């Protein structure tokens, strides 16, 4: 079975972002970028499935600017076999990304597509579900365990009240939650080897996909600031403040 993995280049999760003064977006120049943490987990899971003999080839895809090549090289260093960059300028919405991925799925015919459950920049949590819908495939979202069997995959999902197990007919789309696995670090020899692995670049036009945004961002603003309060010396004062000042107990 071939596995397709989608990865996104995002502002590193440790960066304290700044909103642009003209409220057109978030400052992204001179900011550290890295692979979306949920996508690292998706790649790791694909590599583990290959190591376990359940997968034969791993193709990683990223949709974004030329710099997304670095993100793809990282995935190749983790163990993916080859990469495809669908080069775009500007941000692409989940629906457009899902359509691009659908076009690639039709070309590559994978048995499973693994994505992260959400990107930490737009926080949408949509792309995997949309891709499954467009392909008419089953979806196993927020996965914390994936067991590939014969023609089926059992996915343990994180739900609000606990966990749920669903059985999906393959081919299927799976989105990774944080607890699915712990991604490995790419070793230096693997990083060197990854430089020689194939990386193909295409455009959305070549795939016949229109990536024009459907939503218009009118503005991006800072959230209301929360001021630091006071420090209390002991528990008795804390209880008194909560009771008589904040009136919450």
Least spacing, CB of residue 205 vs another protein, in Å? 19
One DSSP character per residue, 149-168 reads -SSEEEEEEEETTEEEEEEE
Pattern 208-227, another protein, x by CB under 8 A: -----xxxxxxxxxxx--x-
Least spacing, CB of residue 100 vs another protein, in Å? 13
Does position 32 bind another protein by CB under 8 A? no
* CB proximity list for 199: less than 8 A, separation 6 or greater: 69, 72, 73, 76, 82, 83, 84, 85
Tell which one of 59, 131, 176, 207 touches another protein (CB under 8 A): 131
Least spacing, CB of residue 6 vs another protein, in Å? 15
Least spacing, CB of residue 93 vs another protein, in Å? 6
Tell which one of 12, 57, 69, 154 touches another protein (CB under 8 A): 154
* Interaction residues for another protein, span 156-195 (CB under 8 A): 157-169, 172, 177-179
Does position 31 bind another protein by CB under 8 A? no
In the bound state with another protein, the residue whose beta carbon lies nearer, of 85 and 135, is 135
* Interaction residues for another protein, span 56-115 (CB under 8 A): 93-95, 98
In the bound state with another protein, the residue whose beta carbon lies nearer, of 83 and 96, is 96
Does position 11 bind another protein by CB under 8 A? yes
Sign of the torsion angle spanned by Cα atoms 214, 127, 1, 172: negative
**What are the φ and ψ backbone dihedral angles of 38, each rounded to 5 degrees?**
-70, -30
**C-beta atoms surrounding 154 within 10 Å:** 14
Measured between alpha carbons, how far is 157 from 7 in angstroms, rounded to an integer? 21
The torsion angle over the Cα atoms of residues 228, 234, 235 and 240, rounded to 10 degrees, is -70
Measured between alpha carbons, how far is 207 from 210 in angstroms, rounded to an integer? 9
């Amino acid at each position: 079975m071939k596995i397709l993995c989608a990865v996104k280049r995002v502002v590193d999760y440790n960066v304290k972002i700044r909103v642009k003064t003209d409220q057109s977006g978030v400052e992204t120049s001179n900011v550290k970028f890295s692979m979306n943490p949920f996508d690292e987990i998706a790649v790791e899971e694909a590599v583990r499935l290959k190591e376990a003999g359940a997968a034969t080839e791993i193709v990683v895809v990223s949709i974004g600017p030329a710099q997304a090549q670095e993100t793809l090289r990282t995935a190749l260093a983790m163990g993916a076999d080859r990469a495809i960059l669908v080069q775009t300028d500007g941000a692409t919405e989940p629906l457009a990304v899902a359509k691009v991925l659908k076009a690639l799925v039709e070309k590559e015919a994978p048995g499973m597509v693994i994505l992260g459950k959400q990107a930490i920049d737009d926080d949408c949590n949509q792309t995997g579900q949309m891709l499954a819908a467009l392909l008419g495939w089953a979806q196993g979202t927020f996965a914390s365990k994936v067991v590939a069997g014969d023609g089926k995959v059992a996915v343990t999902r994180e739900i609000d009240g606990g966990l749920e197990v669903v059985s999906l007919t393959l081919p299927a789309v799976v989105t990774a939650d944080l607890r699915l696995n712990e991604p490995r670090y790419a070793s230096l020899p693997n990083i060197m080897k990854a430089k020689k692995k194939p990386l193909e670049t295409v455009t959305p036009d070549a795939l016949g996909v229109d990536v024009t945004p459907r939503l218009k961002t009118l503005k991006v603003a800072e959230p209301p600031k929360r001021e630091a309060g006071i420090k209390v010396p002991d528990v008795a004062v804390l209880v008194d403040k909560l009771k008589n000042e904040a009136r919450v107990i």
